[in-house]
Structure 1
Amino acid sequence: MSETTQANGHAEASDANLPPWLPRISLQNAVRAQIGDFEKIRSVTPQPANAGDNYSTLMVRLLVEVELLDHSSKSVSFVLKVQPNNEVMAAILSKLRLFQKEEQMYHNFLPQFEKLYAEAGKKIRFAPKAYKLDQDFGVDYVLLEDLKPNSFKNANRLAGLDQEHMLQVLAKLAAFHAASACYVEHNGLFGEDFAVGVFSEANRQLLQEFNASGVFLAQLKKWKNCQKIYDKLADSDEYLVDRLLQDQQVSTREFNVLNHGDCWNYNIMFLYDAFGKIKETLFVDFQVCKYGSPANDLYYLILSSAAPNIKTKQFDYFVRYYYDQLVDNLKLLQYHRPLPKLKNLHAALFRNGLAAYLVVSKVLPVVMLDKNEHPNLEDDDAKVKVAMYTNPKYVQVMTEVLPWLDNRGLLDWK
């Protein structure tokens, strides 16, 4: 791939997958915000950065060579998220307003959440810094600090998060949730993009397509000791979206937070010290944040990303740990409404059993699929789904998780 730049710092992109407007971008303000004053931008080199794990947006890494005031050089980089060239996916993103939501998160809500903690005397960071391009091209995008040069990285997706990683993520998630609850106390409810999000009657057809269970159920029927569970779920596609729309309505009688909405391993970045101990944990990808019960994020994180040997065995411990962190943060931020009770959190988890089912039937099989074992699946959606649901490691986990869900009554949402 050959990208060159002019002295004004504009990128010239030759890759057909990159946005056609990319050569015209200017990053003067973003570079200045990151490193201070400088002489000029010598070059901007764009590189596709999806790495195969982001399914809805095009990620472009922008490598910037900067001449400093003393005429020495410095390299900086950014990650640019833009709509994909796939017209169908771009139309879905526009309909669901995902980029607009993420822009609000990075430029408005996250800075305010962090400010709440700063005013309480606690320094905390939830996500990479966000910047703006120097000009408006009339396109949806998010421009972010590139975390990888600063040694942030994902944990092993296939192995799952061990207890130490889970506790770090739960602590940060509890802090994020607490800040969102205090934000509502100070500023009123989030707007429709976050209170309703994708869960509207207008999106019924999309929700039915995204949550269709036919391929999953066809495999479930074959799994050992799962016949009763299959019988319970066999006709679930007929009423699943009705129940989903009902469950995702915000109840003002409950304790609510802004859920990340996509809190799995790939959207969590870790920084380690020289001894491998976790120093910092940050979240990325805020496109589907949704105000509502914290049960949604708890199910999503634990059931999608905890290592198989602790996913259900440590579930209640993880909930307790999260709850203690949540209350401590609410107290720190001087939350004036009644503090949530642990029993009410468990009640919310029970009421949101459908959320748990959707995580293990839709998200977990994606998380556990080793694409290196299936190099020829990229362009065949049907084959991908069969590979996900016949993955022996996934089947093994599900033969433990499904009875666990059923024994808790979490599959009784008809």
Structure 2
Amino acid sequence: MAEDNTNNDQYNADELEAPEWLNAKFITKVLIEYENNPKLKVLDVKNSPATKKADHYASVMFRTSVEYQTEKGKFFKSLIVKAMPEQEGHKKDMLSESHIFETEIGMYAKVLPEFAKIFQEAGDNMKLNANCIYYSLEPRKVLIFEDLLPLDYNPIRNRNATQEEVRCVYAKLAKWHAASLKIQNEQPEFLKEFKYGLFDMPTFVSDPFVTSGMAAFLKLLDE
């Protein structure tokens, strides 16, 4: 397994080195389950930071490039691994007692498939999300997604979004809310478990992010 940590100053410090468990053995288990092929063999795994500084906060994220082999030949797959922070520090302290991963796993495992069913019944095959190919809460909290970069999706950096890009975002957001409302009206018990927000995190209200964040935001607005 190799690490690719070029231009380290662009990335979060806790994402410069992948955890020991993010190795060929673990990825082999994930891909065997996902592809339902016990003969699958991982040949190489390379980990690198998945995002740049300020792109996200409530996890650590790695891009895992995998070369593997089956009876049909050799293949390459790029994955995004999102995990609970393990390094001691502010991020781990803030998130360790939260329900963030339980909520996100529930969304990908339960809610988004139901949204997709609603859209398909209406004749709309739009996708709202990347494919989540693996998730777990034990022995560690982790989600693994199909990487969208090879599919020509890219973060918008150093420019404004175009009118068409903004239209697409709001169109998907509108459909998300419509599906949510339909489920809430017709199956109110379906969403009942999703009741935890940011202010349910034990340390959130006393976190400097909240106690001093507004002052920093107002200063930014002044500028």
Shorter-chain TM range is 0.7 to 0.9
Residues 165/173 of structure 1: CA separation in 2 closer, same or farther (3 Å cut): same
Q: Give secondary structure in 2 for the equivalent of 1:177.
A: helix
What 5-or-longer segments of structure 1 have no aligned partner?
4-14, 220-388, 397-414
Give the Å deviation of 1:132: 2.0
After TM superposition, where is structure 1 displaced by more than 6 Å over at least 4 residues in a row? Answer: 35-38
Q: Percent identity?
A: 25
Structure of higher CA gyration radius: 1
Question: Equivalent residue for 1:56?
Answer: 58
Structure 1 residues 17-45: Cα deviation after superposition (integer angstroms, max 9, x where no partner): 32232235143453664697864222222
Q: 1:167-246 alignment to 2 at 5 Å? A: 167-189=167-189, 190-191=191-192, 194-200=194-200, 205-206=205-206, 209-210=209-210, 212=212, 213-217=214-218, 219=219
Give CA deviations for 1:86-136 in whole Å, capped at 9, x if unaligned: 433123223331111111111111111111111232212111011226x87
Q: Are the aligned partners of 1:43 and 1:66 in contact in 2 as well (CA < 8 Å)?
A: yes
Aligned counterparts, 1:15-26, within 5 A? 17-23=17-23, 24-26=25-27
What is the match of residue 159 of structure 1? 159
Deviation at 1:207, TM superposition (A): 6.5
What whole-Å deviation, never above 9, does each CA across 1:62-81 have from its counterpart, x for those lacking one?
A: 111122324x3211121100
**1:83 matched to which residue of 2?**
84
1:74–1:200 Cα change, 3 Å: closer
- 45-54 vs 56-65, greater mean Cα deviation: 45-54
Take 1:66 and 1:181, find their aligned partners in 2: how far apart are those partners?
42
Equivalences for residues 330-345 of structure 1 within 5 A: none
Given that 2:94 and 2:203 are in contact with CA atoms closer than 8 Å, whether structure 1 keeps it comes out as: no
The TM-score with structure 1 as length reference comes to 0.44
The CA distance in 2 between the partners of 1:35 and 1:161, in whole Å, is: 40
2:94–2:204 Cα contact (<8 Å) kept: no
Please, which of 113, 130, 145 is the counterpart of residue 132 of structure 2? 130
Look up the equivalent residue of 1:185 and give its one-letter code. Answer: N
Distance change >3 Å, CA 166–CA 197, structure 1 → 2: same
Deviations 1:312-364 (A, max 9, x none): xxxxxxxxxxxxxxxxxxxxxxxxxxxxxxxxxxxxxxxxxxxxxxxxxxxxx
Flag the 1:92–1:34 CA change in 2: closer, same or farther, 3 A.
Answer: same
**Residues 203 and 55 of structure 1: CA distance in aligned 2, closer, same or farther (over 3 Å):** closer
Q: Deviations over 1:383-403 (max 9, x none)?
A: xxxxxx3xxxx656xxxxxxx
Residue 142 (1) aligns with residue 153 (2): no
2:119–2:125 contact (8 Å) kept in structure 1? yes
1:38–1:123 Cα change, 3 Å: farther
Cα shift at 1:166: 1.0
Name the CA shift for 1:16/1:187 in 2 (closer, same or farther; >3 Å): same
Which residue does 1:117 correspond to in 2?
119
The amino acid that maps onto 1:104 is G
Give per-residue Cα distances to partners, 1:248-301, cap 9 Å, x unaligned.
xxxxxxxxxxxxxxxxxxxxxxxxxxxxxxxxxxxxxxxxxxxxxxxxxxxxxx
Structure 2, unaligned runs of 5 or more:
4-14
Alpha-carbon shift at residue 176 of structure 1 (Å): 0.8
What's the secondary structure of 1:131's corresponding residue? strand
Which is richer in strand? 2
- May I ask how many residue pairs the two structures share in their alignment? 207
Q: Evaluate the alpha carbon distance shift between residue 182 and residue 43 of structure 1 in structure 2; reply closer, same or farther with a 3 A threshold.
A: same
Counting only pairs closer than 5 Å after superposition, residues 15-414 of structure 1 correspond to structure 2 as 17-23=17-23, 24-30=25-31, 33=34, 39-52=40-53, 53-70=55-72, 72-84=73-85, 85-132=87-134, 137-156=138-157, 158-189=158-189, 190-191=191-192, 194-200=194-200, 205-206=205-206, 209-210=209-210, 212=212, 213-217=214-218, 219=219, 389=220, 395=222
CA RMSD, Structure 1 to Structure 2 (Å): 3.2
Cα distance in 1 between the residues matched to 2:210 and 2:43: 45
